[in-house]
Chain A
Amino acid sequence: MQILKDEGYKMRYATSGLKALELAQKDEIDLILLDIMMPGMDGFQTCKKLKEDPKTAAIPILFLSGKDSYEDIKKAYECGGSDYIVKPFIDLELKKKVAIHSELVTLKREVSNAKR
């Protein structure tokens, strides 16, 4: 979190999948970093729920997980994840990926605004 705060991003955090869903619906979130292993609802389920809700479906989700088996990675993408970063992650990689996906969000917004 500190790495991204230092980059100037505003951060919110949730300690469970349910809380994450709540936050995503309440607040205007541009990007979600999601762990897989969580008590209760796991990351895959949380991701699926977020993608099912039209209000949160467009928010890109980056999985951040210690699990590095191809099975997990594939599953993450299948649930609608935008990228998968294996922990322990490289700082630069995290920064770049967060930057790229938030840029993509901004771009899509601008393109649809410009079209209107």
Chain B
Amino acid sequence: MQKDEAKILLIDDNPKNLQVAMNILSKEGYSLIYAKDGEKGISLAQQDSFDLILLDILMPGMDGYVVCQKLKADPATRDIPIIFLTVKDEEADIVKGFECGAVDYVTKPFQVAVLLKRVETHLTLFYQTRMLKRLNEALHHEVDEQVEKIRLKDQILFQQSKMASMGEMIANIAHQWRQPLGAISAAVVGIKSRFMLGHFEHATQETFEECQEYLLKKCDDIEEYTRTLSSTIDDFRYFFKPQKRVETFVLGELVDKSIKLLKESFGDSDIEIINKVKDIKITGLRNELSQVLINLLHNAKDILQEQRDATGRVVLVEAKQREGRVDIYIQDSGGGVDEEIIEKIFEPYFSTKHQSSGTGLGLYMAREIIQKHMLGDISVENRSFIYDGVTYFGARFHIVLPDVLKEKFVHIVKD
């Protein structure tokens, strides 16, 4: 506290008192302003900012109590500490002063040491309160900033992982389109070559029918292939469409659909995905759950493909519903996650894959989606399981979801 920064307002009608108090206090370096009556004092207090007010009780017109009450009633002046000036030890006066909101009193005639000490005490109290308030504000500000930073970082992560999975999906679309496109092109080439060879022009009565049949067949094929192409587009568009509302869906079908979206990237590998999920109904965010399933299945695929001499490459998807929750298990035969890193696999930017194939965000996003968007949880453990009489060992991801997600809890990260 700097004494010369402290501004004190003195309200007293007695010029002699004013003089004495001013002398004592200005010697200490305080800056002082005085008012000779209550009205003037109040208006001064409102105009300027004071750190302390010394207030006489006995004044003509408005007395000290009224002035004190008025100052305490005004938010602009309420926090300024008020010390009463009173004639020697009138108990009733002192009590009344405290009750009006004063913090202390000083008796007249002034005892220098008492006046100075009390002024100092209440200025210190005032400054410490103000400093604590400022420090708290700064702290709050800092906390807000950090929260905002984290939110932005999350948003970027979300965006990045979305781009990554979009890239993957585009590769998948390319895969899925190659075959029907090739077939369409083959059909067209076939028709064209027959045309050029004069099959149609020189058709006899019998071969004409055959030609007609052939053309119709090829048209049907082309129609079928284009339907496949457009349904692929629908599947992917549906997958990327941001979802704002919960909907009820059959889990088994969603698993099937997710597997289908991934099928091409599994290629010709001998990986077997078994969907044992029955017709469990879930109300929740379908597309987001599909994104998580695809991510987990994709990871399982990567692990299984790395395994050279596997006895069998199996991914088993199971689920059960009970007491308002659904447990989904995705178990692979990939040998399990290294126990040393199993704790870390949900952390952002943690990846076991080579830089080029993994962003390290997949599982992090999966957990974000499950926990924050769907109010569930996801965990992983290594365990063995028996399928078709064979015992396998690998990682098992366990997703727990409420079977009915209430709409009001849904909040989607805006993108």
Contacts and interface: CB of A to CB of B under 8 A. Distances in A.
A107 B113 contact: no
B113 A96 contact: no
Contacts of B117: 77, 82-84
A10 to B, nearest CB: 22
Contacts of A103: 125
Contact of A90 (B95, B128, B129, B136): B95
B95 A108 contact: no
A21 B124 CA distance: 26
Interface residues of A, number: 24
A110 B102 CA distance: 24
A18 interface: no
A57 interface: no
A11 interface: no
A83 B121 contact: yes
Interface string A98-109: 001101100110
Given A83-B121, A96-B104, A111-B132, A73 B114 contact: yes
Given A74-B111, A114-B135, A96 B103 contact: yes
20 contacts: A74-B111, A77-B114, A84-B114, A84-B117, A90-B91, A93-B95, A97-B104, A100-B103, A100-B122, A100-B125, A104-B125, A104-B128, A107-B125, A107-B128, A111-B128, A111-B131, A111-B135, A114-B135, A114-B136, A114-B139
B118 interface: yes
A108 B128 contact: yes
A1 interface: no
Interface of B: 89, 91, 94-95, 98-99, 103-105, 111-114, 117-118, 121-122, 124-125, 128-129, 131-132, 135-136, 139
Contacts of A100: 103-104, 121-122, 125
A103 B193 CA distance: 99
B111 A115 contact: no
A78 B95 CA distance: 27
Given A82-B117, A96-B104, A110 B132 contact: yes
Contacts of B131: 111
B103 A74 contact: no
Nearest to A86: B89
A83 B114 CA distance: 8
Contacts of A111: 128, 131-132, 135
Interface string A65-86: 0000010011001100011101
A12 B347 CA distance: 54
Q: Chain A's interface: helix, strand, loop or mixed, by majority?
A: helix
A104 B111 CA distance: 23
A77 B125 contact: no
A115 B99 CA distance: 34
B113 A74 contact: yes
Contacts of A90: 91, 94-95
Contacts of A101: 121
Given A77-B114, A77-B117, A100-B103, 13 more contacts: A74-B111, A78-B113, A90-B95, A92-B95, A92-B99, A96-B103, A97-B104, A100-B104, A100-B122, A104-B125, A107-B132, A111-B131, A114-B136
A96 B98 contact: yes
B65 to A, nearest CB: 15
A103 B128 CA distance: 10
B87 to A, nearest CB: 15
Contacts of B136: 114
A24 to B, nearest CB: 20
B222 to A, nearest CB: 75
B152 to A, nearest CB: 27
Contacts of B99: 92
Contacts of B91: 90
B132 A82 contact: no
A83 B135 contact: no
Contacts of A74: 111-113
Contacts of B121: 82-83, 100-101, 104
A6 to B, nearest CB: 17
Contacts of B118: 83
A92 B98 contact: yes
A82 to B, nearest CB: 6
A12 B83 CA distance: 30
Q: Which 9 A-B residue pairs are closest in the complex by CB-CB distance?
A: A114-B135, A107-B128, A74-B113, A77-B113, A70-B111, A111-B132, A77-B117, A104-B125, A92-B95
